[in-house]
Amino acid sequence: MLAGKPGVTRCAGISFLWGTRTYVVGIVNVSPDSFSGDGLSDVDMAVSRAVLMAEEGADIIDVGGESTRPGSLPISAEEEISRVVPVLEKISKKISLPLSVDTYKPEVAQRALDAGASMINDIWGLKRDSRLAELAAQRGVPIVLMSNQRDVSPHHDVVFPDVMSVVIQDLRKSIEKALSKGIPRGNIIIDPGPGFGKTPQQNLEVLRRLEELKELNLPVLLGTSRKSYIGYVLGLPEEERLEGTAAAVAIGISRGVDLVRVHDVKEMVRLCKMADAIVRG
């Protein structure tokens, strides 16, 4: 039986009080082939984007060096380190927000933590390398565990009989692995993984059924910004999906998510404040 939802998670000296408001995670991509068209290869431009996001009200900055777009090729740990570490080193000297590294490679995560990161965001939910869990436990940092169906549906074309059951079962396995490696329950955040190995209709179903994640009793991060299923519904390219993203974020907040991971920080901070005023009172 899973214990109750942690009331607070500490990260870089900051307390995240779950249930009080929605926290905003700003995305800084240093992968030139980012799916969303916002990838940067220039360190100073990436740092400037992070500083702007901090000014716009972001609570966490998430830095990633490997593209997660469908069909993208993996890069070596060395290449990923060369992209994210210089950015993290510079950002950490300019802003005091917690910094997250978006990686599933323990070698990258270790170097990122040394460079100023204080959170790990694993899109594979520890499926790829359990050493990542050992590192998070040793360093005492929060970790985001995402449900990713690309291992069974790399082309996003497998129709699961009950996609939410698949997501919850997947997350349970990730949570159990994290706990078995010594990660405190209060340092675990879950992500249902819309856009990863699910059809457009299944992604929409996950959004409709987010409340079912409450049975896992952990804070929930929703990463829905500019995703392809928004383009599927609206028939719009990545750079024109702001309104679709806003709708998905608002629905997510109404269904109990605790953090939203977004590209457009200023607009989503305002949306979160309004949605929280309605939903949380």
Catalytic residue IDs? 227, 261
Tokens of 201: 């209709």
Separation CA 230–CA 183 (nearest Å): 34
- Residue 215's Cβ-side half-sphere holds a number of Cα atoms within 13 Å equal to 11
**Contact by Cβ (8 Å): 14, 98:** yes
Residue for token digits 């100073």? 44
- Report DSSP state, residue 13: T
Identify each DSSP E strand in 44-113 by its residue range: 60-64, 99-102
**Plot region of 110 (φ>0 → left; ψ -120 to 50 → alpha; else → beta):** alpha
CB-based burial label for 218 (10 Å; 0-12, 13-18, 19+): buried
**Contact by Cβ (8 Å): 103, 117:** no
Which residue, 281, 255, 250, 279, is CA-closest to 267?
250
Residue for token digits 């240093």? 30
Separation CA 90–CA 83 (nearest Å): 12
